[in-house]
Amino acid sequence: MKTLTTLAILLFLFGLQISCNKNESNDKNKPFIVLNGNPFMNWPLGTEFVDPGAKVYDVTETNDTIEISFRLETSGNVNIDLEGTYQLKYNASDEAGNRADEKIRSVNVLISK
Query: Would you say 107 and 53 are in contact if contact means Cβ atoms under 8 Å apart?
Result: no
The pTM of this model reads 0.75
Sign of the C-alpha dihedral, residues 52, 53, 54, 55? negative
Whose CA is closest to 72, among 51, 94, 97, 50?
94
Q: What fold does the segment set 27-110 form as a domain?
A: Immunoglobulin-like (2.60.40)
Domain ranges, ordered by start, for the chain? 27-110
**pLDDT tens sequence across 9-59:** 656 666 655 444 444 668 889 999 999 999 999 999 999 999 999 999 999
